Structure 1
Amino acid sequence: MQFSPGDAIRFGWETFKKRPWFFIGAMVILAVANIAVGIVSGAVDTITGGSYEEPTVLGNLVSYLLGVLISMGMTAFFLASHDNPHGVDFATLWHPSPYWKFFATSVLASLAVGIGLVLLIVPGLIAMVLFMFSTFLVIDRGLGPIDALKASMEMTRGNRWPLFWFILLCLLIILVGALALGVGLLVAAPIVGIAFAYAYRLLSGYAAQVAPPDARLDI
């Protein structure tokens, strides 16, 4: 199965256009959730003798543990948005299971990418592509950490260069959204998230129909 970065982004955009205010609302909810996590972790820092500039280990741990819940909700939400854009609702953002599998998978994938980037950069970029679908596999199939990492590696086989360019393209879209006073992220984030879900579904054997290659991303 050949993957096209353009098809994925196009699908994300076309899906976003079906319910733009809904997707923007979902991003606002996620933003508020992130702010709440910051407040809670900040309170923990204060109680344990830290500060915003110098957070404590416990404060960072609380922030990460709560952040995992947000990441799980985002992953489930974007998968549902791909599969049923007209039926997905805000309740999908709450998807706390399987928490520890997701937590362990995200830690292992992050360590692989982080260590690779610190050592020689290139290994980190390779790991980023190899494990890009690991957390999707946890949410979608309930796989454990090792199985999810292995399955993600297998899924990317034969499409690793296109997936690398896809990641760079997504980062560029997010950057442009952030430069637009941050408001652009409310549009950029769902487009990229749904595009990732499209890539995952395509390479796992199922993807919704995408617009033909000569379609325009009309605004």
Structure 2
Amino acid sequence: MEIVDEKKPKTTISGSYGYGWQQMKKNFLYFFLILLIVGIAESPASLARESELDNSAIRMLLQVLSATYALLILPVFTYGGNLLYLRGIRNEEIDFSELFVGFREKYVNIVLANLLKFAIVGIGLVFLIIPGIILLCRLAFVSLLVMDKDLDPIAAIEKSWQMTRGHGWRIFGMALLAVPLFIAGLICFLVGAVVAVMWISAAFTALYHAIDLEEKKLLEG
């Protein structure tokens, strides 16, 4: 599914959402299938958390299994999904086998990076909400860096912090804009919500792509 090169994304909120929309339309069925597979992968953890079994022992066991699944299995699907979104944003071929590449090649890095990011953001949210939000924005690219640049967890954290320098407020603004977009999608029933989620994911991936292109241009210059 190689597509001729078109205009590059810009490191702005409107530019990221605009380019994300453009690429989402081109790759709509691919992005929809990615969302569907990742959503199915998330369902076991969700069902266990929402279980209303009266047996407290069974409920506790389900919660432990849910937490284990969320920490050790689910990140592989979400990180793989992020990589496939990046393929679409870059006009590269989307190979669905890459959705599971984490189980074969990058499993330890994916799990550790996810745990490290969760711990860092969690600590920030526990002590003060604002630092947690800042950390969440600055570490937004960790999953893409692990999958795209094959970085180890610490290097991915450091690189995301460096890449998002000067873009923190932009990422926060994109996250705020995502809220009314999703609500508008819900108003348009389930189909609209699905499109909104795909668009939001594509927009954040487009911002990563735009910043990455800028860095490459600086290095080449």
Pairwise TM-score range, normalised by the shorter structure: 0.7 to 0.9
The structure with the greater share of residues assigned to helix is: 2
> Which consecutive unaligned segments of at least 5 residues does structure 1 have?
208-219
Deviations 1:66-116 (A, max 9, x none): 21121122111111111126x324334333131111211111112222221
Aligned pair partner of 2:138 in 122, 125, 130: 130
Q: How many equivalent pairs are there?
A: 203
What is the match of residue 62 of structure 1? Answer: 69
| Aligned sequence identity (%) | 27
Q: Distance in 2 between matches of 1:115 and 1:159?
A: 22
Distance 1:91 1:175, change over 3 A: farther
With normalisation by structure 2, the TM-score equals 0.78
Distance 1:134 1:19, change over 3 A: closer
Question: 2:99 is aligned with what amino acid?
Answer: L
What is the match of residue 166 of structure 2? Answer: 158
> Which consecutive unaligned segments of at least 5 residues does structure 2 have?
1-9, 216-221
1:49 and 1:56 in contact (8 A); partners too: no
Q: Within 5 A, what are the aligned runs for 1:1-219?
A: 3-35=11-43, 49-51=57-59, 55-84=62-91, 87-96=93-102, 97-178=105-186, 180-205=188-213
Question: 2:21 is aligned with what amino acid?
Answer: W
Distance 1:120 1:77, change over 3 A: same
Distance 1:95 1:37, change over 3 A: farther
2:146 and 2:152 in contact (8 A); partners too: yes
Which segments of structure 1 move beyond 4 Å, counting only runs of 4 or more?
36-42
Question: 1:200 is aligned with what amino acid?
Answer: Y
Distance 1:176 1:108, change over 3 A: farther
User: Once superposed, what is the RMSD of the aligned Cα atoms?
Assistant: 3.1
